[in-house]
Every structure is written in structure tokens, then in C-alpha cells.
Structure 1
Amino acid sequence: MTVDDRLTGEDRDFLASYDPHAFPPVAVTVDLVILTVRDGQLCVLLIRRGAPPHRGSWALPGGFVGPRETLDEAARRELAEETGLVTGAHMEQLATYGDPARDPRMRVVSVAYLALVPDLPTPVAGTDASEARYRPVADLAGGAAPALAFDHDRILADGIERARAKLEYTGLATTFLDEPFTISDLRRVYETVWGVPLHAANFRRKVLSTPGFVEPTGEKLATGRGWAELYRRGATAHLHPALPRPPAT
């Protein structure tokens, strides 16, 4: 049953005289916080805007939602355009940002998404960007770099905190890795995202004692100092017990 099928006769009479132009226009966009681990650093995909407003400024990738797109469809389209990934990435709705003055063009409400992806080839800028690049989030913190366009600094900060929190109680850290991987590879993801060193033996014990977190492949990788067992992602969605995040030093 479609929405139209549920309309009553009264609804149709009302809509026949309804004037949508009686209200100020509001546009809807999606913005993506796309995080990955590159060269031992937590990085975010940024684009340099090729057109006003904020031409030349760095920003999160995103765009306007099409008239016949759902929010998730628009976000998936933007992710595919920016990374080439159609499947295999974790993506979830982060938050909605609707301050009246966040966009100088008009009232624009943005629904932000968080995407966690494995290391990917160097991105190519799309049609509305002059450049695209993975930037270490550490280089963007504390005013060390120019502010991002619009309110994207706030969106990025929210996305990073969401990713750090979710690593405590979900298996999403494995999303940053190509399969198969070692426990050491997984530990380095946690250390990179959390920004703290972890005790290798304790981490291994916690991971292997958490049902469904990882599954052994039965294969081993030569490390130069011996052999490391290889694993794939497990089936569990939530870790129990959780892996508590150590305090930052």
C-alpha cells in the first residue's frame, strides 16, 4: 500500500487547495563523515569546494537529496561517488543539523552519516569539488588547520566521537580492515581510533574471549618473528563484554 492509497476523501480535498509556497522553502542535504585508517592514522575524506559558497574551503562530502531519493539512498549515492564503494562499508545516520544560519544560500537541514571504510585508493574529486583527500583527523584538531566549510567541524567532531564510542561495544573496528587480518592489525585500529596504546596480550585475550567478535580462518601469516593466526569478521553485532576505552594520556 502506498501513501496515496491511505489518503481519505477529506485528505484529497485538503491537498487540492494546499499551497506549499505558503511556507519558507527548506532544502535537505546529506553530509558524510567517511573515516578510514591510513599509514597508522585515523583519516577523514574531505573535498575542496569548487564553487561558492566557501569556494576553496575544505568540507565533508555530501549533497542535496534528490526529489525521489530517501535519505539513505542519497547517502549511499554520495558514498559511491566519493569512494567507489557500493557495498561493504558500514554506514549509519549520525545526527541532524538544522541551525538556521548554517548555510548562506537558504535554510538547509543536513542529515549527517558516519561511514567506516577500509583503506582505499587516493580519491578523485567529483564534479562539484576541485580536490579530494584523506586528511589525518589529528591535523584538523585544536585549530591547527583552517576551519571546514559550513558547520562541518562540528559534524566531524560528532562523527569521530561516535566512531570511538562504538568501538567499545560493537565489532565495527573490523570494518577498517581488509580480510583476513591478525589480532595485531585489529589492535592497531583500536590504538589509532582511540589515540591510546593498548597492552598487546590483554587486548588479544579480550578479543578472543568475546564470542562472535572474530573468527579464525585456519591460516597463518609469516611475520618474520614467527607466525600469526589470521581472522575474519565475526557475526556478532554487539560485544559482550565490551572493550572499555582507556582514558587518554
Structure 2
Amino acid sequence: MAGAAPDPTVCAPSDRALIEQAAGLSLSDADPKLLDFVVEKSKAAGSQAFKAKKYAEAVRHYSQAIAGRESDATLYSNRSAAYLRQGLYEQALWDAEKSASLSPDWAKAHYRLGCARRALCQLEGALASFRRSLELEPASSESSAQAEELRAVLDGQLAARSAQTAMERRSLALKLREARREDVKEGMLRQIKQSMVAPDWELEDLDWRPTYLPSMCSRPLDAAKELRDPKTAALAAYLSALADLAAPKAAL
């Protein structure tokens, strides 16, 4: 069975053992009060470096503090913020996740997690984190602003995707309509030609019969009688199909 994945936020146990062996001491044997003093000093130094915008130095001090107190959610939250300012978004995410897991009811931990997720373009997850932060601390203006802004971004993306989908569907419908027009045209032409007695007759021959259409207009036609003729019926069906294809479609 595979072992648990290593925790990227702390020193690996094997590495810690080597360090303690080289230093000739073990944290488990250290005076708890002295260890707390060193952790608090490192934390304060990290916060001072962060305020001075020395983010790499802040990370180093926070890491020292974490080495002495691996269960402190605030240390991971602070280091996550320093990583984020350096553009190290994945490391910021690891620390924010660790902070939220250690203190699931702490609003700041979820706010840090939301910031890291947003930096990594995990917008849905970021929004969920900011909303969780607001549930725990409704008065948080930072979480409220982030959640509102992200909701607007996601709504805009949804509208853009919907518009793109509608445009693609319309384009497909137009292509299918054009293909249908050509298929019907070819089918009707074949049907008309097959109904004609003369084997070499072409539909375009109408343009070379100047007396054909005028003669049709000079005498009344009995529609029922004319449409009994296969050639006339085929021509009428063809023209009707063309008219139907040319008409605008409400669905498009």
C-alpha cells in the first residue's frame, strides 16, 4: 500500500533527523519555554520583513518559526501571504491549505486560500473559499470585495461562453440550411429531368424559349389540370422548395 504523500509545507522527517544529528540536539529535548521564545521571535522577524516588503526574508523567518511549531495555523497563513507576494502561487496554496486544515473555523485561513486559488486561476474554488471566510466573519470587507468581484468575473465568463455557443449553433444551422438547399436543388433537378420526354432538356432552356412564358400568360390555366402533368407538377414542387428555402427561418 502506498504511503501518504509528503507534506510540502514542512521539513521531511528524514531531513529533520539528519539536521538534528548534525546539530547534536533534538527539538523534542529542547526546553518548551525556550522553543516558544525562539518561535515568537522568528514570527515577529517575519512580520517585520513582510512589512518592509522583504518577502523572501519573511518566508525564511516564518519557516524557522514553523520548524519549531508545526501546528500553528497563523504561521502558515503568514508564509502563504509572503509566497503570494513573491509570485510563488503553488507554495502559497500549499500553506493556505495547511492553515485551513489546522484551523477550519478561522476566516483568515480561508481568505488566504481564496487568494492563492485566485492567483492560480482556480476561480470557482477561490469564490468558495471567500464565501466560507464570509460565513465565519460576515464583517470582513476583504472577503466580501473579493467574492463580489469574482462573482462578476464568473458571470461574465458564463455570458461569454453562452454567446459563443449560440454563435456556433447559428453558424452550424446556416451551414446545414445551405447544404439542404443544395441537396434539394439537385434532387429536384434530377426529378424534373427524369420526367421530361426529351433526354437533353435542361432547366436553363427556359431562358431560350421567349414565347414559352408569354404564351402561358396569354391564356387562362386550369391549375388542377396543369398539375396533373408530371412535368408541370415537378416544376411546381421545385419552385415551392426554393421558395421555402429562401424564406427566413425564425429558429436562426
TM range (shorter): under 0.3
TM-score w.r.t. the length of structure 1 is 0.22
More helix by share: 2
Structure possessing the higher relative contact order (Cα contacts under 8 Å, 6 or more residues apart): 1
More strand by share: 1
- Structure number, greater radius of gyration: 2
TM-score w.r.t. the length of structure 2 is 0.22
